[in-house]
Each structure stands twice: as structure tokens, then as C-alpha cells.
């Protein structure tokens, strides 16, 4: 019936016959409404309503000077910019995002940890912990995430009943549960160049970790001081993330810096403006400078906020 009405309408238009269009339209509507097996003539006429970001300026590229990067909208998980985002590369201290996540899920914040000689002797960035010092898990998380203390990372891992090896195994199991297919951890601090992840996987763990209010509060802290349990030693902590600290980037909320020679300068950065949160992952910048990862992360975040509108 529907097909017949349409054919008659087309024939009338071709021959110039004066058939009332309104009659045809009404007949067509009735045929569709009362025939449950009929198919609407025009499908997907109206765009699907989604929460995905909409391009504003149609910028061609972000122009980021790093070998691997990704920019992602936290709410929609939409990727706004990327380059070699699945390449498996060393990630240095951005490893500590996973270390913190595992610690938060397996310890109480008020648990007391005794710092070992091995933990206190870790090379690279540290929070000046000494062997025998007693620290709460909460304060070790501050030391690890704010100043990127390798000593604090090992102290947290050693506190696990299975030791460092068992703790790292938990890190890898957590990665698997989050479908981080590009990742394999070998130590809690990211000192091993043989451990690896990808820009994409780091965006996954960053999104996951930021859901924890304790983690989010710590990584967004510019400066603070924590004490050992006895109150005999004070640790002044200034955030190594220049987006949060020196640059005071608008809306910056974290997340974690990293550097070893094999990984280059790395940063997982995040910023929130109004109801929009963007995560920018920078791995191995094209130039060797202590400010490189923050400058490129800032550029990537600027690109996102300036070129997309979020519903």
C-alpha cells in the first residue's frame, strides 16, 4: 500500500497531474502508522544525541613535540589528539600512578610503615627518608606522588606481605583488570627501563586513579609538609608537576611526572574547567629540558580546551 501511494505521487509529479499533495501525505502517514511491518522511508534523519566533544576550530594538529602522546576527555573517553599512543615504551615515575592505586586498595591510610635501608637508599628523586623512620601510608603517598620519591615508592611496596615482588605482581594484575594491554611493570618506582606502558594505557590508569578522592587531593597539592610518626622529622614537599606548581595552569589537578634517560621527560597531566576534565599524556619529549614535558602537556591541554566544545 505504501509503495503504491509513493508511485502514484511520483507519476503525478512527472505527468503534471493535479493530485492534492496533502492527501498523498496523509495517506502515506496512515499507511506507515497502521502497517506495523512497514519501514520508515527516511532513517537516521536526526543526529544521535551524545556527550561527545564537538570540534570548534577544526585545528589540523596539536603540534606537540613528543614521540608519544594522547589527549582524552575524561567523561566521554573520546580521544582528541594522539601520536603513537599504543607504543610500548619506558614510562619512568609515571609508574607511581599504579603504585598509588594498588597501595590505596590494599592498605589503610593510617598504617605505619618502617622505612628500610634499601628503600632509603633508592637512587633518583627522593623525599629524604632515612632507614628506620616510621611513616604512615598517607604520608608516604604524599612523598611519592608530590616529589616523586623513589624511597617512598619502595617503602610502600615493601610493606606488602609479599614484599616488592608480590606488590609488583598486584600492579600487573590491576593493569590486566583495567585492560591495559600495553603495560608491564617491573618495579614500583619506574626505575627499570625494561618496564613499559603506553600513552593510551597511562590515560586509563590516570582516569581510574582520579576517581579516588585521596589520590586526586594529593596530586593536586602544590606544596605541603609531612612528618614521621614520632614527629621528629619533617619532609617539605613541592610538587614536581609544573602545571600544578610553577605554571599554575588554569584548572590543573595533577597528575604525575617522570624521567629516566631511557624514557625521556614524561608527564601525565590533567586539568578541569567547568564540567570538563582533560587528561594529557606526554612521553619522551623531542627535546631534553626539565620543563619540556610540562610545556608540551600545557600545549596539548590548550589545544583541547580551545578546539573542542563539550556537551
Q: Which residues have a catalytic role annotated?
A: 93, 96, 148
Task: Find the distance separating the first CA and the last CA of the chain, reported in whole Å.
Answer: 43
Q: Which run of H or E residues covers position 284?
A: strand 276-285
250 contacts: CB under 8 Å, gap ≥ 6: 271, 273
CA distances 72 to 75, 78, 138, 196, Å, are 9, 6, 29, 20
For the chain, how many residues are written? Answer: 311
Judged by DSSP in three states, 83 sits in strand
Could you please report the per-residue DSSP string of 134-164?
EEEHHHHHHHHHHS--HHHHHHHHHTSTTHH
Amino acid at each position: 500500500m505504501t509503495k503504491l501511494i509513493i508511485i502514484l505521487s511520483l507519476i503525478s509529479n512527472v505527468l503534471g497531474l493535479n493530485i492534492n499533495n496533502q492527501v498523498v501525505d496523509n495517506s502515506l502517514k496512515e499507511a506507515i502508522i497502521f502497517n506495523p511491518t512497514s519501514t520508515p522511508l527516511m532513517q537516521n534523519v536526526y543526529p544521535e544525541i551524545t556527550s561527545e566533544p564537538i570540534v570548534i576550530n577544526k585545528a589540523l594538529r596539536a603540534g606537540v613535540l613528543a614521540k608519544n602522546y594522547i589527549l582524552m576527555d575524561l567523561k566521554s573517553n573520546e580521544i582528541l589528539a594522539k601520536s603513537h599512543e599504543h607504543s610500548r615504551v619506558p614510562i619512568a615515575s609515571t609508574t607511581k600512578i599504579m603504585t598509588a592505586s594498588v597501595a590505596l586498595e590494599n592498605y589503610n591510610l593510617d598504617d605505619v610503615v618502617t622505612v628500610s635501608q634499601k628503600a632509603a637508599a633508592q637512587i633518583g628523586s627522593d623525599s629524604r627518608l632515612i632507614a628506620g623512620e616510621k611513616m604512615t601510608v598517607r604520608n608516604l603517598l604524599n612523598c611519592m606522588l608530590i616529589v616523586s620519591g623513589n624511597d617512598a615508592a619502595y617503602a610502600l611496596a615493601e610493606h606488602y606481605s609479599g614484599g616488592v615482588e608480590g606488590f609488583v605482581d598486584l600492579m600487573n594484575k590491576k593493569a590486566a583488570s583495567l585492560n591495559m594491554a600495553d603495560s608491564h611493570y617491573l618495579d614500583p618506582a619506574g626505575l627499570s627501563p625494561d618496564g613499559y606502558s603506553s600513552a593510551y594505557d597511562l590515560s586509563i590508569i590516570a582516569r581510574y586513579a582520579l576517581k579516588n578522592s585521596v589520590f586526586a587531593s594529593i596530586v593536586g597539592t602544590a606544596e605541603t609538609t609531612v612528618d614521621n610518626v614520632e614527629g621528629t622529622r619533617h619532609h617539605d614537599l613541592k610538587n614536581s608537576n609544573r602545571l600544578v606548581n610553577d605554571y599554575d595552569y588554569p584548572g590543573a589537578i595533577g597528575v604525575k611526572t617522570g624521567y629516566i634517560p631511557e624514557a625521556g621527560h614524561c608527564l601525565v597531566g590533567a586539568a578541569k574547567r567547568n564540567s570538563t576534565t582533560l587528561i594529557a599524556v606526554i612521553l619522551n619529549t623531542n627535546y631534553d629540558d626539565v620543563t619540556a614535558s610540562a610545556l608540551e602537556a600545557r600545549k596539548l591541554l590548550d589545544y583541547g580546551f580551545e578546539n573542542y566544545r563539550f556537551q
